[in-house]
Amino acid sequence: MTRYRPDSSWWRTRSRNADGTNNDTVVAGSPLRLFRLGPAGSKLADALEATGDAPSGSERLVDRFVDAGAIHPIPEASPDLSRVTVVIPAHNERHVDLQVLVSSVQSTAKVIVVDDGSRLELAPLDGALVLRREHSGGPAAARNTGAALVDTEFILFLDADTHWNDDAICLFGHFTDDHVVAVAPRVRSVDGPSLLERYETAESPLDLGPEAARVRPNTRVSFVPAAALAVRRTTFEQLGGFDESFRYGEDVDFVWRAVEAGHIVRYEPLAEVTHRPRGSFEAWVRQRVGYGSAAASLAARHRGAVTPLKINRWSAGAWALVGWGRPDAGALVATTSWALLLRKLGDAPDRRGIALRLAGRGNLHAGRLVASAITRAWLPIAIVLALFFPRARRALLLALTVPSTVHWITSKPNVDLPRYVVLKALDDASYCTGVWRGVVRSRANGRWGAIRPQFD
């Protein structure tokens, strides 16, 4: 029997009506949803909170909870690893590092290493089949080349700079659900003595955090990287593999195509692998620019899935007023949104508390999103406005410093605050450079979605 864990957003309120009946509600998921529970739902919620087990007959509500991201299945026993083939793309990698990675997985699975046009041809590796591409086609092409020779049920893609942990094998337990076609572990950055290594432990773009998730656009975990990604081979082939026209973002595109086709993709942080960050500042900047450059192509292909800011109109109005130096008016708008939400909740128990939680969390989250949009996709516009308007200058300064300071306090990286804030600003500026480069170079309809906000 599958067991489940409630999401960190799970918030339950209960009360008793005058006629003796119970009111029971749960607020959870990504985006947040309100569930009104009947007697069977209350019994299910009790069981989920106590043991993670779902009573028989509760399958429909369990499916609703899982679909909303309110609860997450705990992976069951992993399959026989003879059903798994590992595919590792490599380009100008050190032979000794690849041999260590191959040795860590070859005892339990077949291994294929694809030499993607390295300057020096890769020497044979013990425990792996080495394929040579004479010309580099990028990660997508290299992975597809290796996947074409796989005949096992599952493929595990691992980048050459990852380090496999045997405990991560638990991610394959999710494949007991036939609807799941891809699962990714948490990818943590290896700590080290350099400034970049220490910074990356808190800000790696591959580390999606400690919370499990059902992956889809416009949710807390909207994509997973192919640095470590397990897939069903048949579905991977049906979807056409990775799109080789993407030099960056091919993993995001694949995941979104899978989701659009009705499949389930999961992020499982109980499984962890590590990876090495870029070895130089120049390589680090190129990586961030490259990631940003994919935004325009992704926006054109997946309409509505890419935006620097998706925000409720009330939250947008509140934060616009705050940024314009009118926090009193912004607070009034936020209060109005709370009152309107209160009316929608009707007779829900503790409806004032629920409305305050939903509106408060929504507005605070919106503030973080606004700051991120200002320092990333909209940075050139923000700089121009800051040159002429003091209020815009103040808003840009706050966007650059406040979120970074809050994250520094909560994540506790081994980097002092001033250097952390500067690196985060450079991180965002590099990504922004890639976004605008991609928008300018692309001719595809829909590319402007990479810099255009969405309101709901």
Count the domains in the chain: 3
pLDDT per residue as tens digits for the range 351-403: 777 777 788 788 888 899 999 999 999 999 999 999 999 999 999 999 999 99
Domain co-membership, 69 together with 87: no
Q: What per-residue confidence (pLDDT) applies to 21?
A: 61
Give CA angle at 425 (399, 367), nearest 5°: 25
Is pLDDT above 70 for 296? yes
Coil, strand, or helix at residue 407? helix
Could you tell me which residues come within 8 angstroms of residue 69 by beta carbon, excluding any fewer than 6 positions away?
7, 9, 28, 29, 30, 213, 214, 219, 220
Q: Tokens at residue 374, please?
A: 């200002």
- Cis link prior to 31 (omega < 30° from 0)? yes
Could you tell me if residue 293 is inside a domain?
no
Contact 134, 91 (CB under 8 A): no
Domain co-membership, 176 together with 320: no
CA distance 333 to 344: 17
Q: Which amino acid would we find at residue 172?
A: F
Q: What's 143's domain CATH number? A: 3.90.550.10
Is pLDDT above 70 for 17? no
Domain co-membership, 341 together with 264: no
Domain co-membership, 57 together with 88: no
CA distance 286 to 275: 17
H/E stretch holding 213 reads strand 213-214
Half-sphere exposure of 229 (CA within 13 A, CB side): 28
Domain co-membership, 243 together with 327: no
Q: Is 356 exposed, middle or buried (0-12, 13-18, 19+ CB in 10 A)?
A: middle
Residue 434 burial (CB count, 10 A): 24
Residue 160: which of 175, 176, 173, 142 has the closest Cα? Answer: 142
Could you tell me if residue 282 is inside a domain?
no
> What is the 8-class DSSP label of residue 133?
E
Coil, strand, or helix at residue 192? coil
Contact 112, 95 (CB under 8 A): no
Q: Is 151 exposed, middle or buried (0-12, 13-18, 19+ CB in 10 A)?
A: exposed
Residue 18 — pLDDT band, cuts 50, 70, 90?
A: low
Domain co-membership, 266 together with 358: no
CA distance 162 to 84: 18
Domain co-membership, 244 together with 101: yes
Domain co-membership, 260 together with 115: yes
Residue 349 — pLDDT band, cuts 50, 70, 90?
A: low
Could you tell me if residue 266 is inside a domain?
yes
Could you tell me if residue 368 is inside a domain?
yes
Is pLDDT above 60 for 20? no
Half-sphere exposure of 25 (CA within 13 A, CB side): 21
Domain co-membership, 318 together with 406: yes
Could you tell me if residue 426 is inside a domain?
yes
Q: Which of these three, 54, 74, 94, is where a domain ends?
A: 74
Could you tell me which residues come within 8 angstroms of residue 92 by beta carbon, excluding any fewer than 6 positions away?
118, 119, 120
Structural domain for 403, as ranges? 310-455
Adjacent-strand bridge partners of 268: 185
State the pTM of this model.
0.93
pLDDT per residue as tens digits for the range 306-331: 999 999 898 888 888 888 888 888 88
Q: What per-residue confidence (pLDDT) applies to 19?
A: 59
Provide the b/e sequence for 6-35 (b: ≥16 CB within 10 Å).
bbebbbbbeeeeeeeeebbbbbbbbebbbb
Coil, strand, or helix at residue 52? coil
